[in-house]
């Protein structure tokens, strides 16, 4: 009985921490999206192609560097086929880098998306 209460408390605390992290991510994204950061202004780009650079950046943030993530497209949007849990926790500086790459939080799942430009 005591074990069940401890387990329940642990699960509840974990959910609260996760919600706080996601709320913080959203605030940071809003903050830097308002600054209208441009990829062209970014120094030390992993690649000159914005989409390739974004993928390289995201790959560097995977918790398990051997893990794969996939992109799927719909109209003019690319969705990263991995949720937040696949990535290391983003710092504010990571969010700024993501916004430079035109990455944003997906409105359909708990992950990232970007516009595909030609």
**What phi, psi does 79 have (nearest 5°)?**
-105, 135
Q: Please report, in tens digits, the pLDDT of each residue of the chain (118 residues total).
A: 566 766 655 565 655 556 677 888 889 999 999 998 999 999 989 899 998 899 889 888 888 777 777 777 788 888 876 677 778 788 999 999 999 999 988 877 778 888 876 5
How far apart CA 4 and CA 66 sit, in angstroms, is 35
The packing angle between helices 2-34 and 92-100, to 10°, is 50
Q: How far apart are CA 80 and CA 25, in angstroms?
A: 16
**What's the Cα-to-Cα distance from 48 to each of 65, 71, 91, rounded to whole Å?**
22, 19, 23
Look up the pTM and report it.
0.76
């Amino acid at each position: 009985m005591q074990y069940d209460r401890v387990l329940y408390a642990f699960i509840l605390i974990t959910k609260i921490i996760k919600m706080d992290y996601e709320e913080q991510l959203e605030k940071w994204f809003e903050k830097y999206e308002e600054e209208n950061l441009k990829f062209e202004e970014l120094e030390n780009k992993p690649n000159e192609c914005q989409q390739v650079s974004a993928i390289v950046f995201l790959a560097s943030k995977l918790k398990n560097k051997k893990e794969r993530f996939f992109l799927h497209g719909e109209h003019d949007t690319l969705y990263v086929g991995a949720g937040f849990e696949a990535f290391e926790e983003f710092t504010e500086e990571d969010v700024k880098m993501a916004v430079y790459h035109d990455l944003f939080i997906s409105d359909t799942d708990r992950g990232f998306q970007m516009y595909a430009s030609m």
